[in-house]
Amino acid sequence: MSAAMEADRSMVYRYEAVFSVFMAAVAYLWRENAGLVYPDILYLFAAIMALNLAAGRALRLWPAMRWIPAVFTLANCAAIAAVVERSGGADSNLWVLYLLPVFSASSLLGAREAGLVAVGTLLFSSAPALLSQQGRGELDGFLLLLKDGILAFAAAATWWFAQRERRALEDLRRQRGALQDMEKSLVGERRRLGTTERLADVGLMSACAAHDLRNVFGVILGFAEVGLRARNLPNEAEPDLRRIRHSAELGLSIVSGLESWSRDCGPGDEDCDLNETVDRAAGVAAEIFSRKGAVLRLRLTDCLPAVQGRPADIERVFLNLLVNAARAAGEDGTVTVSTSLIEGPGDLACVSTVVEDDGPGIPDEMMARLFKPFSTGNAASGGTGLGLFLSSAIVQRAGGALSADNRPGGGARFTVRIPVPPAGVRAWQERGRGSAARARKEELIRG
């Protein structure tokens, strides 16, 4: 229910209370009036009571259909005219009862209905005197004008005060709405402040951890190098040691990037081949896929132009996407990574990398907050809720965008688009690699 309707209901209840007191006072003060015609006057008073209560009831039940209480109010004027006729006629003091429909219409009804009731009240009040066959003196005419003037003034004054109260209530409603909006905004700011504080804590802890991790990765890298240089190294151990060495090198690069990021240093961009980056990330994630029982398919378009960014950071993005996809696909699931070039007008182009899985997909309630910190972590799988947030930040720092949606056939799809510098696009076009790249892509998709 709107604030205006609640205000109207409140005014109806107040009017009914005032009306009851007014009718009780009239019945008491005019009980000794010799002009009262009994029992007709009692029936008419009961009718006035019933019509007023019916008007209030109609206004509460059908607040938008104000013509219904207006009809009851005009009927009330007719009952009051009958009361005046049976209490002395033109000499009756009960004409003051006409104030009831005037007050009720001006207080509770709209401008059109209030004007109609005011005109009807004046007609009912003046008609007996105007239609009377007996001559009326100047004094009677003055008294009639005085009565009509009082009724008109009462209607105007009541309407003005009622409108003023409605405006005050509407202002109060707007202020309450503004206050509620401020409260909601304050709650949101508190949440964002809490997130910012947690991110600051994470930044401080990561800066401290980076110093220690550098030594740990250095030790791992050293042992991997020693193992690779061993003369009696079994052939089956060499791929694993190379993977360990690359993982340690990736860890050192991540630590260096984290330290430079915390110091707000430049991004240190360089040429980055996304096919090689995806291939390296797939090698690191191979153990996760083996443990989860998922299959990884790479559909990489050959001869793509290089993009600008830190290769270790971009590899970190793909590694995070692959690990998440392996967890979502689960046993016997499939994860597909495909790269392609999206050409635009002139020198505009970007390299697109799509990571798809056939898992359950992303819930609708999570989609809106997917790339916000601490919002998608799964404690059961060891997640922290920071992977996608950091991945999106890294891609944005490279000038690109990371987006997500659900595949029509089921599963999630993450798309990384990173722009190619205009010089790189021109060099790629001059080499005539466009047709070869597209043919290679179509062949892999068909296969």
Amino acid at 294: A
Q: Under DSSP, is residue 171 helix (H, G, I), strand (E, B) or coil?
A: helix
pTM of the model: 0.47
* Whole-Å CA distances, 33 to 36, 42, 128, 365, 399: 6, 13, 20, 76, 94
In whole angstroms, give the CA distance from residue 110 to residue 67: 9
- Tokens found for residue 134: 């007996």
Q: Under DSSP, is residue 301 helix (H, G, I), strand (E, B) or coil?
A: coil
Q: Under DSSP, is residue 264 helix (H, G, I), strand (E, B) or coil?
A: coil
Cβ atoms of 48 and 97 closer than 8 Å: yes
Rg (CA), the chain: 42
Cβ atoms of 406 and 356 closer than 8 Å: no
Cα-Cα end-to-end distance for the chain: 62
> Which sequence spans correspond to the domains of the chain?
3-135, 267-446
Along the 447 residues of the chain, how does pLDDT read in single tens digits? 444 545 555 555 566 566 666 666 766 666 666 677 778 777 887 887 788 777 777 877 777 787 888 888 788 888 888 878 777 776 677 777 777 777 777 777 777 887 888 888 888 877 776 666 555 566 666 777 777 788 788 777 777 877 787 788 788 888 888 888 888 888 877 777 777 776 666 666 766 666 667 677 777 877 777 788 777 777 777 788 878 887 777 777 777 666 665 555 444 568 889 999 999 889 888 888 888 889 999 999 888 888 988 888 898 899 999 999 998 888 889 999 999 998 877 778 899 999 999 999 998 888 888 888 766 655 444 455 678 888 898 899 888 999 999 998 889 999 999 999 888 888 777 776 544 444 344 333 333
In whole angstroms, give the CA distance from residue 281 to residue 285: 6
Name the one residue in this structure whose structure tokens are 């008491």.
Answer: 28
Cβ atoms of 408 and 356 closer than 8 Å: no
Question: What would the CATH number be for the domain defined by 267-446?
Answer: 3.30.565.10
Q: Which long-range contacts (CB under 8 A, 24 or more apart) does 197-205 make?
A: 198/373, 198/374, 199/373, 202/386, 203/262
Bridge partners (DSSP) of residue 354 are 338, 415
Amino acid at 129: A
In whole angstroms, give the CA distance from residue 152 to residue 169: 26
